[in-house]
Amino acid sequence: MKHYDVVVLGLGVTGYAALEYCLHTGRSVAITDDRERPPLIDRLKKGLPHVPASIGAFDYDLLAKAEKVLVSPGIRPDSDVILWLKRHNKPIISDIDLFLEAYQGKILAVTGSNGKSTTVKMLHDLIKVSGHNAAMVGNIGKPVLSLLTEGALHEIDWVVLEISSFQLFWSQNIHFDIGVLLNIYPNHLDWHSSYREYRQTKMKLLEHSDVVVMPKVLEPLAKQHGIFEKVRAWIPSYSCLNESSLDIDNTIIEALPYALHKSAIASWITSDVMQIEKYHRARALEEFKPWPFRCQHETNDYGNWYNDAKSSNLAAARYAIESVSRKYGCKVIWIAGGVTKNEEFALMSRWVSKFVSLAVIYGQDRQCFLDALIGVCPVSPVETLDDAIRLVVKTMRKSDVVVFSPAAASFDQFENFQHRGQFFSEQLVNILPVA
């Protein structure tokens, strides 16, 4: 019976990169996915036609032949296939594990409930401005194993890794030079068994880092997990910035969009720990170009519209809405919806009442929003994002401020958040009246 060094579970970007890497290193590899049409099946057939692939249902005969099973991040730990693997004592690994077996260079790893992608890009840019080379990989969309197949590692001084709770959960043997925790809020509770498990998974990053940067407010958690002595810098809350000993020119922070301030503070502190000169830090932040669809202002002549399509949980939406509301000194119209993550929606009434004048909710799980918002602010349910945009345009005043911050995953109506954000931008061009 043929055996495989690795069988990959899930044919997404992580799974495909794992296949390429295994072939690159001479490992025998196969893949299985329970979806009838996984996202990268056409690419697999064209680019790696000789790789054994079984789709439509997880192939347990194929998994039985695996020495190790590499699990794609999104597969839940309580799924039948994972329970089967555990019953049959199959070693489960992540792409991060494979990467760290081969890569011995410096790694700066960043996690948190919100702000990871922006902070990773800022740190990457800070390193580059200081005259060193860096690569951004991980949860931002570029799998870590792609670095090993591209053959450019000898040119890289730092790998800046965005790592999600899913990746941390599945990783068995991790070690990082610097670990950064930005924040912890209840998130992904549709995947993790509890908030306690989610929080412990995030702390796993810090427990396996030589040097730690984390929020001052989480100091008790650092002591609880035995990492207090590894903390080289504490991230102050933004409200305490002026009272902290942080050596930063506030005008640099204030020049950035408000939604980027917290990431800028975390990046400044972390790059100081990395001994990047203050001049280079200031220059990088002054020149910083944010990711698209992260509280992005949409240029038009009818209202002020913000595209925060990357928002996938309530904490991200709250930050975007509060930031924009405070900037304009008024309540905003909020467009939200999609596939929710088993969050505690009842608590959002505390901030929605302060910052939202009207909520327009669309998508698969709109009832979760409606149950929490009725009686808190005016709320209108619709089917699609297109319906939501058209309703807002029909009822808004020219001076209104609109924030599209979904607070939910995109895959009920879109391929990913990029597709969602692009659709929103394009529809504004098509629908908004000419002033």
Average pLDDT over residues 301-329: 91
* Residue 251: per-residue pLDDT: 79
* Residue 153: per-residue pLDDT: 75
Identify which has the larger pLDDT, 238 or 100. Answer: 100
Write down the mean pLDDT value for the chain.
91
For 142, the token pair is 């570029």
Residue 193: band (very low, low, confident or very high) from pLDDT cuts 50, 70, 90: confident
Cα distance between residue 244 and residue 395, in whole Å: 45
On the question of pLDDT at 384 being above 90, the answer is yes
* Residue 360: per-residue pLDDT: 98
Kind and range of the H or E run holding 71: strand 66-71
Strands 106-111 and 29-33, how do they pair? Answer: unpaired
On the question of pLDDT at 241 being above 70, the answer is no
Architecture of domain 104-286 in this structure: 3-Layer(aba) Sandwich (3.40)
* Residue 240: per-residue pLDDT: 53
Helices (H) and strands (E) in the chain — how many of each? 18, 17
Residue 243: band (very low, low, confident or very high) from pLDDT cuts 50, 70, 90: very low
Beta strands in 77-230 (DSSP E): 92-93, 106-111, 134-138, 158-162, 176-181, 209-215
Average pLDDT over residues 263-282: 94
Residue that has been written with the tokens 């998130």 in this structure: 187
Kindly report whether the global pTM for this prediction surpasses the value 0.85.
no
On the question of pLDDT at 231 being above 90, the answer is yes
On the question of pLDDT at 239 being above 70, the answer is no
* Residue 10: per-residue pLDDT: 94
For 206, the token pair is 């810090």
On the question of pLDDT at 267 being above 50, the answer is yes
For 133, the token pair is 């080379």
Q: pLDDT tens digit string along 34-89?
A: 999 887 899 999 999 999 999 999 999 999 999 999 999 889 999 999 999 999 99
On the question of pLDDT at 242 being above 70, the answer is no
**Superfamily of domain covering 296-431:** Mur ligase, C-terminal domain (3.90.190.20)
DSSP track, 292-337: TTSSEEEP-SSSEEEE-TT--SHHHHHHHHHHHHHHHTS-EEEEEE
The dihedral formed by the CA atoms of 307, 313, 319 and 324, expressed in degrees to the nearest 10: 30
Cα distance between residue 372 and residue 370, in whole Å: 5
Average pLDDT over residues 150-165: 88
Q: Give the HSE-up count for residue 299: Cα atoms under 13 Å, Cβ half-sphere.
A: 0
Bridge partners of 333, per DSSP, are 358, 402
Cα distance between residue 413 and residue 341, in whole Å: 16
Q: 4-93: what fold?
A: Rossmann fold (3.40.50)
Cα distance between residue 24 and residue 22, in whole Å: 5
For 147, the token pair is 């670095």
The domain ranges of the chain are 4-93, 104-286, 296-431
DSSP track, 353-408: HHHEEEEEEESTTHHHHHHHHTTTS-EEE-SSHHHHHHHHHHH--TT-EEEE---S
Q: Indicate the range of 81-95, 205-219, 306-320 predicted with least confidence.
A: 306-320
Average pLDDT over residues 268-276: 95
